[in-house]
Amino acid sequence: MTDSGSPMVSITMVLYNSERCVGESAASVRGDVRDGFAELIVVDNASPDASVDVARRACPEAEIIQSRMNRYYAGGCNLAWPHVRGRYWLLLNPDVVVPPGGLRRLTAWMDHHPEIGAASPDLIDRIGRRHCPARRFPSLSRTLVEMLRLHRLATLEHQGDFFLGSYWHGREHLDVDWVVGAALIARREAVEAAGVLSEALPMYAEDSEWCWRIRRAGFRIGLVGQAPWLHEGEQSTALTWEASERTRRIWRGIYASCVARRGRVYTTLLWLANATAFAAEGVHPRRSKTQRALARAMLNAHAGLLRQRVPARRAESKRPGQP
């Protein structure tokens, strides 16, 4: 539990190749840190650039935790948890800029909805494009409904609620499956009940699996329908991996999270359904050239996961000492 001298919200920012974006992000929360409403815990994930120096200049009041190795997103966040003193724990990507008053509106919304264990503000990019962070868990039913275009039989409101993500054009939502970890706020009691993020999972699986555990602990996951926060996505990963590798890792995370929630058999069926859908979209004459190219990129990512998995299975099947 927190005491009366503790900040309302503890912000954790994990840095790796974040030099070009972290300054603006850290500066956007400095006012709240200086007046004691928030604390900023910066985790230097053995970043090869000057990320931590930029963060320190932008917010000298930040607490710095330095890791000897890159512990990735979950490991970096978990390093900060023992230092968290606030009622809420906000995982904030260094490419997210908090608008004036954003932290206070976010925590007030959480106070008003005590059933919510974790949530995210709405996110937009610099040209105003909305990137809804609320998600449904991938499922066979959603893949098949979308592939067969059956969702077009429903109203736009029902489509949005069924799929969320780019389909959701509403504002507030009090019962999503999970929210992306770019600006994820969690209630302290929810973290204590569900545990911290899993370091056994690959990147892009941790946030969805964590939200799943928070839901199992009896809380709901929400989308905050107020002023959106600025998010320039993939600022760090773009410097670390090329686009095709990032796409493959995202899908790897999606399926790793699915294995944790639904098991390997269901996940294999979901992989087959998604691969079939992307193969069909990639050659569909009524899709635009851009849509077909995107579908082929997704299919290539699935093929890459399969190529990666087959050698691993062969290695597992060998007897000890067998060449």
Beta strands in the chain (DSSP E): 9-15, 38-44, 63-66, 88-92, 96-97, 116-124, 134-135, 173-176, 178-179, 183-187, 220-231
Give the CATH number of domain 9-233; options: 2.60.120.650, 3.90.550.10, 3.40.228.10, 3.90.1170.40: 3.90.550.10
The per-residue pLDDT for 309 is 72
Whole-number Å distance between alpha carbons of 218 and 193: 9
Q: Which helix (H) or strand (E) holds 238?
A: helix 237-240
Integer Cα distance of 155 and 50 in angstroms: 49
pTM, full prediction: 0.91
Six-digit token string for 317 = 């099947």
Distance CA 140, CA 5 (A): 49
Residue 260 CA, distance from chain mean position: 16
26: its two tokens: 């850290």
Q: 268: how many CB neighbours lie within 10 A of its CB?
A: 14
pLDDT computed for residue 242 by the predictor: 85
Distance CA 11, CA 32 (A): 11
Write out the chain's pLDDT in tens, 323 residues.
456 689 999 999 999 999 999 999 999 999 999 999 999 999 999 999 999 999 999 999 999 999 999 999 999 999 999 999 999 999 999 999 999 999 999 999 999 999 999 999 999 999 988 889 999 999 999 999 999 999 999 999 999 999 999 999 878 999 999 999 999 999 999 999 999 999 999 999 999 999 999 999 999 999 998 889 999 866 555 566 688 899 999 999 999 999 999 999 999 999 999 999 999 999 999 899 999 999 999 999 999 998 887 443 433 334 333 33
Among residues 161, 171, 42, which one has the least CA distance to residue 109? Answer: 171
84, 29, 88, 72: which is closest to 222 by C-alpha?
88
* Domain spans, the chain: 9-233, 240-307
Asked if residue 90 lies in contact with residue 10, where contact means CB atoms within 8 angstroms, the answer is yes
Beta-carbon contacts of residue 95 (< 8 Å; ≥ 6 apart): 18, 21, 22, 25, 182, 231, 232, 233, 234, 235, 236
pLDDT at 237: 59
Distances (CA, A) of 270 to 136, 142, 143, 201, 212: 14, 10, 8, 18, 18
- Is residue 33 within 8 A of residue 86, CB to CB? The reply is no
